[in-house]
Amino acid sequence: MTRPGFVLEVDDRTPPLLVHEGLGFRLEEFPLGTRVIYPPEPVATVPDVDQAIREALLNPVDSEPLPELLFAGMKLTIAFDDLSLPLPTMKAPDIRGRIIEQVLEMAAAAGVDDVELIAALALHRRMTADELRHVVGERVFRSFYPQGKLYNFDAEDPANLAHLGTTEKGEDVEISKRAAESDLLVYVNVNLVAMDGGHKSVGVGLASYKSIKHHHNAKTMVHSRSFMDHKHSEMHSSAWRMGRLIGESVKVFQIETTLDNNVFGKPYDFLMKREWEWSVKDQAAMLGMRRGLALAPQKLRHKLFHDLRGAYGLTGINAGAVEPVHERTVRKVHEQQRVKIEGQADVMVMGVPYLGPYNVNSTMNPILAACMGLGYYFNSYLGQPVVREGGVAILYHPLDEGFNTLHHPSYVDFYEEVLAESTDPHVIGPKFEEQFATDPWYIHLYRTSNAYHGVHPFYMWYWIAHALDHLGDVIWVGGDRRAASRMGFRAASTLQDALEMASGAVGTSPSITYLHNPPHLLADVR
């Protein structure tokens, strides 16, 4: 029986609580009365994954069964989410590969020859061959990659982009030409959080900068409340308008999958347990890991964490028309992640872990750490933010991992030049975005190397625009002072110091809420 998520109130019986901070974690003794939000335990998974996939493809929602959409001589494109999902990367076999195999078996049975597979990475970095192989599986990789039929989407290849028109609000819709010209576009999603999927799949994953810039900007982001609630998110509204336009010219067969929250397999499973239920073995594992990490050099710690693979189970799969499929997906995601909370707090505490969507097999630089905490965790709410307007966010992360110049070259310049001038998303957008987005060197690196698009660091900063707009102060516990200061934040050595610093904004006895994730949770704040 899965236990639901709940709100713990720290009392004298509460042991120290686990807080993630980059390539490590600490045990924090929170002030009495602190509310701690625990996500639900992993919900039930489907008993037979392959059977569930087959069922979904043969009995789709508001659509003909997939075999009926396939015919000889057709142009079939299969797009799939890139390695930014799920987090951490799933143990092989990846669910996308298992789905794609079944889609291809049906396509082969129908005699379809013209098949291409596209990693829908929008402006993310290109995946390496190994990463692609992990996602689609060995058989699919061997059949398509050498022929160039399995490839990364290129948002900067004008010859392979198609402009489908503009929405009623004047937003350009420009997506992959191959996808746009296909008789059927099958999109395979991993819906780790409620934000993923829906019209955002094709409308963003296969779109160019020209299209994406309409919703990835400070103004839209501030009015997305929240990203996890697509009916109240400006960004999603824009993606929905674009998706409906795409739907007029492209037949999209959407496949969405939901996972449980088994993010840490053994022997790290204690990281997901409720601390007062830690066995002697769990306590020993915690102490051993803490001391081991303290001795290990940074590279080893990085390897240790980034080699972790999620032991996810499939909780549901839906296929068919985009919108009804997505509604079902969101319900399933909520079942796994939603926790009801009464009222907002003065202070919100978040532990930023080693991994976010944009540093898989890479480093969590200060901008990504800020985006993970203030972009993802802060925005993971329904209704209203966990912290009140003018409240304080206290985050844990050392902010000392530096920049990966292969993956995040434009981040370095953004950090050194743009943030040095202003940290206000509304200021830096109009002034610098165009320059970074069109820089030929960044475009070259995006297209030929494994670099994120030049504009990507701006998007990270727009992600946190709502938090910056809402919060009175942001304090990083254990954070590098210079990095925090460059981003316009402050650093503290301990939680006590941070609360002392926050007392100017929230007084000396503020209400505190700590989001105990990962695993991911969605705060339903009433």
Partner 1 sequence: MVGSFWKDTVEDVRRAKRGWRWGHRAQVPRSAEPFVPPPSRNVYPNDWSRTPAAMVAREFAQKVGLEPVFRSQVRTRVEGLDTLARLSGPVIFAANHASHLDTPLLLLSLPDEWRRRTAVAAAADYFFDTWWRAVGSSLLFNTLPIDRRGGTMSATPGEVLRDGWSLVIFPEGTRSKDGWVGQFRMGAAYLAVEQGVPVVPVAHRGTFAAMPRGAGWPARGRRQLTVRFGDPLVPAEGESVRQFAPRIRDAVARLLDEEQTDWYAALRRSVSGETPDPSGPDVAQWRRVWASTQSPDVEPGKIRAWRG
Question: Which of these ranges, 279-287, 401-409, 447-455, 505-513, lies near partner 1 under the rule CB under 8 A?
Answer: 279-287
Residues 383-422 vs partner 1: string with x where CB under 8 A? Answer: ----------------------------------------
DSSP 135-154: HH-HHHHHHHTTTT-EEE--
Residue 278 in the binding site for partner 1 (CB under 8 A)? yes
Choices 144-152, 259-267, 287-295, 494-502 (CB under 8 A): range interacting with partner 1: 287-295
Whole-angstrom CA distances from 51 to 57, 312, 313 are: 10, 17, 14
Separation of alpha carbons 136 and 190, rounded Å: 13
340 lines the binding site for partner 1 (CB under 8 A):
no
71 binds partner 1 (CB under 8 A): no
Does 283 engage in binding with partner 1 (CB under 8 A)? yes
Report in angstroms how near the CB of residue 110 gets to partner 1 at its nearest. 49
Q: Which of residues 292-311 bind partner 1 (CB under 8 A)?
A: 294-295
Whose structure tokens read 């061997």? 142
Residue 360, token pair as written in the block: 């898989």
Judged by CB under 8 A, the chain residues 222 through 261 that form the site for partner 1 are none
Distance, in Å, from the CA atom of 24 to the CA atom of 104, rounded to the nearest integer, reads 41
Q: Which stretch binds partner 1 (CB under 8 A): 111-119, 276-284, 338-346, 460-468?
A: 276-284
Alpha helices, DSSP H, located in 75-213: 95-110, 129-136, 138-144, 177-180, 200-205, 209-212
Radius of gyration of the chain (CA): 22
Which residue among 90, 221, 286, 471 contacts partner 1 (CB under 8 A)?
Answer: 286
Closest CA to 401 of 442, 355, 434: 355
- Which among 434, 441, 369 has a CA at the least distance from the CA of 401? 369
Q: Rounded to an integer, what is the distance from CA 283 to the centroid of its chain?
A: 30
**Is residue 482 within the footprint of partner 1 (CB under 8 A)?**
no
Cα 381 to chain centroid distance, Å, stands at: 14
- In the complex with partner 1, the residue whose CB is nearer, 456 or 516, is 516
Using CB under 8 A, which of the segments 278-286, 379-387, 424-432, 447-455 binds partner 1?
A: 278-286
Stretch (H or E) spanning 369? helix 366-370
Query: Taking Cα atoms as reference points, which of 84, 156, 200 lies closest to residue 460?
Result: 84
- If one asks whether residue 11 binds partner 1 (CB under 8 A), the answer comes out as yes
14-33 footprint of partner 1 as x/- string (CB under 8 A): xxx----------x-x----
Q: Total number of residues binding partner 1 (CB under 8 A)?
A: 26
Token pair, residue 31, equals 């002030």
For 35, the enclosing helix (H) or strand (E) is strand 35-38
Stretch that binds partner 1, among 11-19, 113-121, 376-384, 425-433 (CB under 8 A): 11-19
Nearer to partner 1, 156 or 275 (CB): 275
Q: Cα–Cα distance between 501 and 456 in angstroms, integer? A: 32
Of residues 417, 420, 421, the one with CA closest to residue 436: 417
Query: Residue 489 carries which side chain, given as an amino acid letter?
Result: F
Q: Does residue 323 contact residue 239 with C-beta atoms inside 8 Å?
A: no
Question: 256 pairs with which residues across the strands?
Answer: 189, 318
**Least CB distance to partner 1 at residue 284 (A):** 9
137, amino acid identity: G
Residue 9: strand pairing partners: 35
Q: What string marks each residue from 129 to 148 as x (binds partner 1 by CB under 8 A) or -?
A: --------------------
Residue 238 or 337: the one with the smaller Cβ distance to partner 1 is 337
Residue 293: name the closest of 284, 307, 282, 304 by CA. Answer: 304
Question: Measured from the CB atom, is 263 or 285 closer to partner 1?
Answer: 285
Give how far the C-alpha of residue 265 lies from the chain's centroid of Cα atoms, to the nearest Å. Answer: 20
Stretch that binds partner 1, among 6-14, 180-188, 342-350, 353-361 (CB under 8 A): 6-14
Q: Single out the segment in contact with partner 1 by CB under 8 A; choices: 5-13, 110-118, 231-239, 463-471.
A: 5-13
Our finding on whether 4 is near partner 1 (CB under 8 A) is yes
Report, in Å, the least distance between residue 272 CB and partner 1.
15
Give the residue with the Cβ less far from partner 1, 29 or 417. Answer: 29
Q: Please state the closest distance from residue 43 (CB atom) to partner 1, in A.
A: 15
Residue 297 burial (CB count, 10 A): 8
Q: Does 3 bind partner 1 (CB under 8 A)?
A: yes
Q: Which of 108, 287, 300, 406 binds partner 1 (CB under 8 A)?
A: 287
Rounded Cα distance between 195 and 191, Å, is 8
349-375 per-residue burial string, b: 16 or more CB within 10 A, e: under 16: bbbbbbbbbbbbbbbbbbbbbbbbbbb
Residue 493: CB minimum distance to partner 1, A: 14
Q: In terms of CB distance, is 168 or 277 closer to partner 1?
A: 277
Minimum CB distance to partner 1 smaller for 300 or for 427: 300
DSSP 341: E
Decide if 237 contacts 204 (C-beta within 8 A). Answer: no
Q: Which stretch binds partner 1 (CB under 8 A): 80-88, 116-124, 132-140, 274-282?
A: 274-282
Nearer to partner 1, 234 or 269 (CB): 269
Contact residues for partner 1 (CB under 8 A)?
3-4, 6-11, 13-16, 27, 29, 274-278, 283, 286-287, 290-291, 294-295
